[in-house]
Amino acid sequence: MTPDNEFRDRHVHEHGRDEAPEWRAWSWANRGRGFPWLGVLLVLVGIGLLIQQVFPDVSIGSLVLLAIGVAFVAGWVFGGSWFAMIPGILLVALAVGRLTSELGIYTGPGTTSLALAIGFLLIWLLGRTREQHHTWALWGAAIFGVIGVVQAAGRIANIPELSSLWPLVIIALGVVLLLNARRSS
């Protein structure tokens, strides 16, 4: 008896259902088929390691973060798992923010916040295509957008640095939300 068959027989006996081992096809798919998460992740990490040999300034942490994010996005696009869309987009956004700095495209502050704002905005837009209202994603986009713009403002010509202003803006937004919630209760 092969290890796979032994696992399946034991699993069917213990849980009453027939499933493949986890390492073969983790499944969050909605369409009734498994998606080979581990295979996709290993291929992407391997590609990341090759990229690091060409671009040694890129950290392995950024590449692994990108690989995991792309694996989630692939699970969403090819496996039909809408659950994977949100972490995939956010992980890719984090990786893009880091890579922007590591590759010297923009080395100032605010890149990660702005990338996350774009990621949250993308989640909101994609949710609208399925008639799901992810209004929480708009709040994430607004908060990270404000933080990113304020952090980057010091590097943009003719705009004063407002680094001490962003905590006050976020506190003011929070107070407005708390007052609105209190009125509607």
Hey, what are 75's tokens?
């699970």
How many Å apart are CA 121 and CA 139, to the nearest integer?
9
Q: From first to last of the 185 residues of the chain, give the pLDDT tens digit.
A: 555 555 556 555 555 555 554 444 444 444 445 667 677 777 887 888 888 788 888 888 888 888 889 888 888 888 777 788 889 999 999 999 988 888 888 777 888 889 999 999 998 888 888 777 777 888 888 888 877 877 777 666 566 666 667 677 778 877 887 888 777 76
pLDDT at 96: 92
**Residues 27/34, Cβ–Cβ less than 8 Å:** yes
**What is the C-alpha to C-alpha distance for residues 8 and 10, in angstroms, rounded to an integer?**
5
> Nearest to residue 65, comparing CAs of 25, 98, 40?
98
The C-alpha atoms of residue 121 and residue 61 are separated, in whole angstroms, by 25
pTM: 0.65
- CA distance linking residue 71 with residue 35, whole number of Å: 10
Tokens for 148, please give them: 């990113």
CA 35 to chain centre: 18
Four-residue CA torsion sign, 37, 40, 46, 48? negative
pLDDT of residue 156: 62
- Note the pLDDT of residue 161: 60
For position 26, what pLDDT does the model report?
A: 44
